[in-house]
Amino acid sequence: MSSVEALNVERHDGVVTVTMNRPEKKNAANGMMFEELLAIFREIKGSPSDRCMVLTGAEGNFCTGADLSDSRGATMDLGIPAIVRMRRLNEVAISLYDLPIPTIAKVDGMAVGAGMSLALGCDLLIAAETARFSMIFSRRGLSPDMGASWLLPRRVGEAKAKELMLLADIIDAAEGERLGFVNRVIPTADLDHEVADLAQRLATGPSLAYGLTKTLIHESSTASFAQSLESEGRAQALNFASEDTIEAMRAFLEKRDPNFKGR
């Protein structure tokens, strides 16, 4: 495990686990944490050995949003114009969303404000029974950031997204699953084991195909049906030329499980 000021990063068998590590602040993100998140997301994007990422928080909470007590933080540094500060946060959100490998938010405890936005930016959101979520921005006189206004409506629909954002209620994991932004709710004692199994399953899968699948889904919201078909065709052409697809076909004929290498 490697540690920087506000994160712990651990790599094992293709899975990179990024842990937000400010438990004394319930993992509220200060300026340093946002900078380190941006750096590690960029590092992972360029690392062929990283094939699945788990984003989580230390000691019983995911992330309680931006640390508003950090006067030099990404949201509160008055020495920098507000729009410039927010564009820094945008870079974090985009870098997470654009990762070409599967990403899992492992959520226990609180995921509120920008913390919930980070969780929504992952491909899968796996929550402990004890997890709690809130688009808390309006309670602070703020509007959503870090992509929440784009991400949440695509998971729950526009009407429910407005309700969650305007009322800023705290909801539990079961309600999050019912609404559709939580993929699975796991007993708290089993969360680590279940997410580790899921991450390992994804890390041993066809990484190139996973990345292309993510791109197709992301582009589909602004593409026509014909454009999506054309994009699918280009993606399949790339897959057919990959070692993983050749291996999958060979394994099918030999009646065995494929051994994907991620290329």
Predicted local confidence at residue 142, as pLDDT: 94
Predicted local confidence at residue 72, as pLDDT: 62
Residues in a beta bridge with 29: 66
What would be the CATH architecture of the domain defined by 2-203?
Alpha-Beta Complex (3.90)
Predicted local confidence at residue 74, as pLDDT: 60
The three-point CA angle 216-208-56 to 5° equals 85
Q: Which residue has the tokens 């920098």?
A: 80
Predicted local confidence at residue 192, as pLDDT: 97
Predicted local confidence at residue 262, as pLDDT: 85
Domain ranges (residues) in the chain: 2-203, 207-253
What's the pTM? 0.94
Q: Which residue has the tokens 């019912």?
A: 178
Token output for 2 = 């490697």
Straight-line distance from the first to the last Cα atom of the chain, in angstroms, rounded to the nearest whole number:
26
The whole-angstrom separation of Cα 4 and Cα 58 is 14
Token output for 91 = 């870079």
Question: 10-residue block means of pLDDT along the chain (263 residues)?
Answer: 84 97 96 95 96 97 91 64 87 97 98 98 98 97 96 97 98 98 98 98 96 96 96 96 94 94 85
Predicted local confidence at residue 93, as pLDDT: 97
Token output for 15 = 């899975």
Rg (CA), the chain: 19
Predicted local confidence at residue 59, as pLDDT: 96
* 3-class secondary-structure state, position 143: coil
Q: Do the beta carbons of residue 104 and residue 198 sit within 8 Å?
A: yes
Q: Which residue has the tokens 């990762």?
A: 99
Predicted local confidence at residue 180, as pLDDT: 97
